[in-house]
Structures are given as C-alpha cells and as structure tokens.
Amino acid sequence: MNLYNTIMSYFWLAVASVSFVTVTYLCFTEGFDKYASNYVFAIIALATFFVKRWMMKRVGNHQQFLKDKSNEKEA
C-alpha cells in the first residue's frame, strides 16, 4: 500500500506540472483572459500532492506510535 500511495502522490505532482505548462502555453497562444481560470486545476492538483504527502507522514507516525505502544504492553 505504501508503494501505491507514493506513486499516486507523484501522479498528482505530474498532473499539476502538466496542467500548469499546458495552461501557460494556451494563455500565451490564445489569450490570457480565456484560459486564466484553468490555473485552478493545477493549484488543486498541487494541493492534493501536498495533502497526500502530509497524510502519509501522519499515518506513518501513528502506525509507529501503535507499534511502540504494543511493544510496551508486551514488555
């Protein structure tokens, strides 16, 4: 499951990068007013990347806490 979460995390980073580059290209070629609102998609994808990364660290810390707690009970 950890590999899947890592892959999906970088997937969202790639989506954010591709979205940003595509919208920037379209803004320069066809007009900023027409495509400027599409930057929202790149921002949402980037936010998803950071939230996923933060949650992965948080879950990892919680699993370690539970592991340490069960080891204390056994000792």
Coil, helix or strand for 59? helix
Res 18: pLDDT: 97
pLDDT for 32-55, tens place per residue?
Answer: 999 999 999 999 999 999 999 999
Amino acid type, 34: K
Give me the number of domains the chain comprises: 1
pLDDT for 17-31, tens place per residue?
Answer: 999 999 999 999 999
Res 29: pLDDT: 95
- Shortest CA distance to 43 belongs to which of 12, 11, 10? 12
Res 75: pLDDT: 66
Res 58: pLDDT: 96
- Burial environment of residue 41 by CB neighbours within 10 A (0 to 12, 13 to 18, 19 or more): middle
Q: Which domain holds residue 39?
A: 2-74
